[in-house]
Chains A and B, each alone.
Chain A
Amino acid sequence: MADVVLERVEKRFGDVRAVAGIDLTVRDQEFLILVGPSGCGKTTTLRMIAGLEEVTAGDIRIAGRFVTHLAPRDRDIAMVFQSYALYPHMTVYRNMSFSLKLRGMPKAELDHRVREVATILGLTEHLQRKPRQLSGGQRQRVAVGAALCRQAGVLLFDEPLSNLDAKLRVHMRTELKRLHQSVRSTMVYVTHDQVEAMTMGDRIVIMNGGTICQIGTPLEIYDTPASSFVAGFIGSPPMNFFDGEIAADPEVGVLLTGGLRLPLARPDLASSAGRKVVFGIRPEHISLAESGRAVSDVTWAALGKPAKVPATIEVIEPLGHRVILTARCSAGAFQMETEIHAGIRAGESADLWFDMNRAYLFDPKSEAAI
């Protein structure tokens, strides 16, 4: 089995630093997600692990072996591409067995392995078909199957679900997760979709501008985002941000632009009154009633009371079981999430309650969490 270690790995394209010296350890048998907006360097990082992209500086080790200058085929890896990269002139069977054949595997063993993988993926009856005779989901499975046949220590995925329609994508998400539980090889998975990242990964690496912003389990990243970028990237609809400053008199609070003052259960900030901050709160932590519960199952804790914010409801977007409200308070517009049967209408004024236990403060310059 294999772990992957990246040490100060850097990639330049001319003057552009696509990946700016990152350190990353992918543990053995882990499902690790690289996620970030386009151009953040996640795909480049994956391609450097695969050996498709030269490393400008730094080292890559797979299972303790330095592979930085090895050819892709000598790295004990297999990869699933965004476009599936199936050979159009070969049958499914040949597509899956191609790499094994090139390695000179005996026919009987090769046949056994292809059929085994085909059974896992439900491709047995399609083995003699050509890729163009298959549906998108089936092609996707063939691409995964071709990678699985290699029995490589590390499986790399480059946005493999982005070409599927929404319904199939949800289905394949579950399939891939189940697959990981049964084959237990190390998987590195690149996506720009934060939902995919949250649902599939053992750990998530959030990248931006060629650097790593935060590494952690989905819950860690959700609960304790390291920066306003991470906080804004993970979560749907995204976190609301307001500019403000710390107020300490008579008790610690945050004074938002527009004169709205919210109490904070942060006695450690008593001495930094006047400090500029960015105040962040997720839509699911705003509720319509003081006694009501937010989406999170955390009850109002003793640390901080919910803060009342008078606001006007501007837009209502029903999602089905939930509804997203766009509201405006004196500090600016924000979004919140509530039950569909809340009985609220656009244009109405309401007192909304911010769960101050789930509020975040960020430094406006460094973006780091305070």
Chain B
Amino acid sequence: MLVLPAVFYLGLFIAYPFLMSIYMSFTDAQAGNQKWTYVGPQNYSKVENYQILANDFVLATLPSAEQARQLAAARAQGKIVTEPAGRRFRAIAEVNGRRIPLLEMDKEDDAAFLGGTILQDLDWRIEKAAGEKFRVVAHASDAPVTFGPYADRAALKRELKEDILVPARTSVKTNGKGVVQDPNFTLAVKNTFKYTFGTEIIKLCIGIPCALILNRRFGGRRLLRGLLVIPWVIPIALSAQAWLWILDSTYSVINWCLVHWGILSPSKIINFRGDKDWAMLSVIAVNVWRGFPFTTIVILAGLTAIPDEILERARLDGANAFQRFVHVIAPMVRPILMVSLLFSLIFSFTDFNTIWIITKGGPYDQTQVLSTYAYQLGVNAGYLGKGAAISLFMFPIMAVMVFFMLQFLRREA
């Protein structure tokens, strides 16, 4: 009889939101948009065109450094000429008496413009090449030279082969409306993995020694065990306020201490939430602070479950403390450690609170993870369909992680 309410509950609170977001990700759902129409998988992926990004054009390979330097020095006097080549137009750089065919385009204007970019805007560097030769390389330090857009893959393939006449580093950029084509989405995926694995590794590095220490018998052990769980039990919304102060750009207590002790000069204080590397480290630190008690307690439970007699036997067998850890303690704790890791991975992978409170994904999306980006795009920006699509991307990734960990546990058992 209890099956019915259970099915009802599962249907209402678990299946419905899940199925709803799947449906939503296939519609043009937007804030203020009363009627949702089916639009196919375009929220996930819709390619509009392709571009070729090219950099590091090798203009010439010369036998001596002197010749290379002369060529590079003469570029101010050089010029681009265009001439027809079949149905297309070829841009040729004339520098220091050399004619260097650079590229071919359908339109003469395009050829002249891109040729001019390579000649005038890029840095010309001299690099050593194989066989005691020297190359002159045109390098774009900020943004690569863009060719295109091209409507389809066939055109892209042809252009990749025919456009650039000198050796260069090329890559293809896909433009479109789907989240897969969204560079911020790619960044969020990268950040999610950085954040998840960063926190998990650090949690283990702190949790294992903590558990080993707390497993020893000493006065105040109970008190310390109690204190340990505080970060885990107080609501993140409260504890994060303390962290906001610790990580404040002006009043950070860490900066104050570092300056006070003379480690840091006042002009070089760390902008924890404003610098891209420090921001990622900051959110990782807050998550670790919050999550490591759980890891510690789970490992501690595993340690307590090891019978004293086994450790005594290991001592009699001649194992020193390190060998006891490697050969006896670690293998016996491993199964429970994997379970804790699995839980912890899921929590970190889907974590929203920590990042939203500390950085809101900033600066410039450098701490944007999938969950915050889904919220940002789906709720704040109103693109519900895309937001749903992003959230659903987490599902297969987590399924794979869970699958491998369960597989591991089954092998252990």
- B residues less than 8 Å from A9 (CB atoms): none
Known interface pairs A88-B332, A89-B332, A98-B327; A52-B318 also in contact (CB < 8 Å)? no
Query: In the complex, what residue of chain A is closest to B319 when comparing beta carbons?
Result: A102
Assembly CA distance A73 to B314 (angstroms) = 9
Q: Mark A80-115, 1 if CB is under 8 A from B, else 0.
A: 011101111110000000110011000000000000
Residue A264 is within 8 A (CB to CB) of chain B in the complex: no
The reply to whether A73 and B315 contact each other, CB–CB distance below 8 Å, is yes
Residue numbers in A under 8 Å from B314 (CB-CB)? 87
CB atoms of A79 and B318 under 8 A apart = no
Interface residues of A in 30-48 (CB under 8 A from B): none
In contact, B331 and A89 (Cβ under 8 angstroms): yes
- Residues of the A chain whose Cβ atoms lie less than 8 Å from the Cβ of B327: 87, 98
Which of these, B312, B318, B319, B334, contacts A81 with CB under 8 Å?
A: B312
B307 touches A83 (CB 8 A): yes
How many chain B residues sit at the interface, stated as a range, is 10 to 19
B332 contacts A73, C-beta separation under 8 Å = no
Q: How far, in whole Å, are A200 and B23 apart by their CA atoms in the complex? A: 77
Q: Are A79 and B332 in contact (CB under 8 A)?
A: no
Q: Does A198 contact B (CB under 8 A)?
A: no
A interface: dominant SS: loop
Residue of B309, B310, B317 ringed by the most chain A CB atoms within 10 A = B317
Q: 0/1 per residue, B278-297, Cβ < 8 Å to A?
A: 00000000000000000000
Helix, strand, loop or mixed for chain B's interface? helix
Interface centre among B318, B323, B327, B334 (most CB of A within 10 A): B318
- Report the minimum CB–CB distance from A150 to chain B (whole Å): 8
> What is the interface size of chain A, counting residues whose CB is below 8 A from a CB of the partner?
23
Q: Which of chain A's residues has its CB closest to B311's CB?
A: A85
Assembled-state Cα–Cα distance A71/B316 (Å): 8
- In the complex, whether B313 has a CB less than 8 A from a CB of chain A is yes
Question: A52-B315, A73-B316 known; A81 and B309 CB under 8 Å?
Answer: yes
Query: Which chain B residue lies CB-closest to A156?
Result: B316
In angstroms, Cα B334 to Cα A146, docked, is: 24
A190 within 8 A of B: no
Residues of B within 8 A of A78 (CB): 316
Q: In the complex, how many angstroms separate the beta carbon of B344 from the nearest chain A beta carbon?
A: 23
Q: Are A83 and B309 in contact (CB under 8 A)?
A: yes
Residues A81 and B313 in contact, CB atoms below 8 Å apart: yes
Closest chain A CB from B350 CB (angstroms): 32
A72 CB–B CB distance under 8 Å: yes
Closest-by-CB residue of A relative to B315 is A72
- When the two chains form their complex, are residues B313 and A102 in contact, meaning their CB atoms are under 8 A apart? no
Whether the Cβ atoms of B317 and A98 lie closer than 8 Å is yes
B336 contacts the other chain (Cβ, under 8 Å)? Answer: no
Please determine whether A82 and B309 come into contact, CB atoms closer than 8 angstroms.
yes
Asked if A50 and B307 make an inter-chain contact with CB atoms under 8 angstroms apart, the answer reads no
CB neighbours of B315 from chain A (8 A) = 52, 71-73
Contacts of B323 in A (CB 8 A): 102
Query: Contact mask A300-320 → B, CB, 8 Å, 1/0?
Result: 000000000000000000000
Instruction: Establish whether residues B313 and A85, one from each chain, have CB atoms under 8 Å apart when the complex forms.
Output: yes
Query: What's the Cα separation between A201 and B315 when bound, in Å?
Result: 28
- Verify if A77 is at the interface (C-beta below 8 Å from B): yes
Give B103-141 as 1s and 0s: 1 = Cβ < 8 Å from A's Cβ atoms: 000000000000000000000000000000000000000
B313 proximity list for chain A (CB < 8 A): 79, 81, 85
CA distance A77 to B317 in the complex (A): 9
Bound CA–CA A83/B313 (angstroms):
11
In the complex, A50 Cα to B310 Cα: how many Å? 14
A87→B309 CA distance, assembly (Å): 10
Please measure, in the bound complex, the distance between the C-alpha atom of A86 and the C-alpha atom of B317, giving whole angstroms.
12
B328 at the A/B interface (Cβ < 8 Å)?
yes
**Which residues of A, 316-357, contact B by the 8 Å Cβ criterion?**
none
Are B328 and A103 interface neighbours, CB within 8 A?
no
Q: How far is the CA of A78 from the CA of B313 in the complex (A)?
A: 9
Whole-angstrom distance between the Cβ of B331 and the nearest chain A Cβ = 4
B331, A73: Cβ atoms closer than 8 Å: no
Residue of A nearest to B312 (CB): A52
For residue A117, give the distance in angstroms from its CB to the closest CB of chain B: 15
| Contact yes or no, B309 A85, CB < 8 A | yes
In the assembled complex, the CB of B179 is this many whole angstroms from the nearest CB of chain A, namely 44
- Taken together as a complex, chains A and B put the C-alpha atoms of A81 and B312 apart, in Å, by 9
- Give the distance to chain A from B355, nearest Cβ to Cβ, in Å: 38
- Set of chain A residues within 8 Å of B310, measured between Cβ atoms: 85-87
Given the contacts A52-B312, A79-B313, A85 and B307 also touching, CB distance less than 8 Å: yes
In the complex, A89 Cα to B334 Cα: how many Å?
10
CA distance A78 to B316 in the complex (A): 7
- Chain B residues positioned under 8 Å from A73 (CB to CB): 315-319
A50, A73, A77, A86 — most chain B CB neighbours (10 Å): A73
Tell me the minimal C-beta distance from A92 to chain B in angstroms: 15
Bound-complex Cα distance A128 to B174 (A):
56
Chain B residues with CB below 8 A from A88, complex form? 332
Interface string of B237-250 (1 = CB under 8 A from A): 00000000000000
A81 to chain B: closest residue by CB: B309
Contact partners of B312 in chain A: CB under 8 A: 52, 72, 81, 85
How close is B308's CB to chain A, nearest CB, in angstroms?
A: 9
Q: Of all chain B residues, which has the CB nearest A149?
A: B317
A78 to B314, CA, bound (A): 11
How far is A78 from B323 in the complex, measured between Cα atoms in Å? 18
- Chain A positions within 8 Å of B328 at CB level: 87
| Complex contacts, A51 vs chain B, CB 8 Å | 316
Shortest CB distance B303–A (Å):
15
List B contacts of A83 (CB < 8 A).
307, 309
Shortest CB–CB separation between residue A230 and chain B, in angstroms? 30
B317 touches A99 (CB 8 A): yes
A50 lies within 8 A of B317 (CB) = no
Contact B307–A72 (Cβ < 8 Å): no
Measured between beta carbons, the chain B residues less than 8 angstroms from A87 are 310, 314, 327-328, 331-332
A73–B317 Cα gap in the complex (Å)?
6
Name B317's closest neighbour in chain A (CB-CB): A99
Residue numbers in B under 8 Å from A98 (CB-CB):
317, 319, 327
Q: Which residue of B lies closest to A89 (CB)?
A: B331
Is B309 a contact of A50 with CB atoms below 8 Å?
A: no
Q: Output the nearest chain A residue to B335 by Cβ-Cβ distance.
A: A89
A-B contact pairs, 19 of them (CB 8 A): A50-B316, A51-B316, A52-B312, A72-B312, A72-B316, A73-B317, A83-B307, A83-B309, A85-B310, A86-B310, A87-B310, A87-B328, A89-B331, A89-B334, A99-B316, A99-B317, A99-B318, A102-B319, A146-B317
Taking Cβ atoms with an 8 Å cutoff, the residues of A that contact B are 50-52, 71-73, 77-79, 81-83, 85-90, 98-99, 102-103, 146
Residues of B within 8 A of A (CB): 307, 309-310, 312-319, 323, 327-328, 331-332, 334
Known: A72-B315, A78-B316. 9 other contacts (CB 8 A): A51-B316, A52-B315, A73-B316, A79-B313, A81-B309, A85-B310, A87-B331, A89-B332, A103-B318
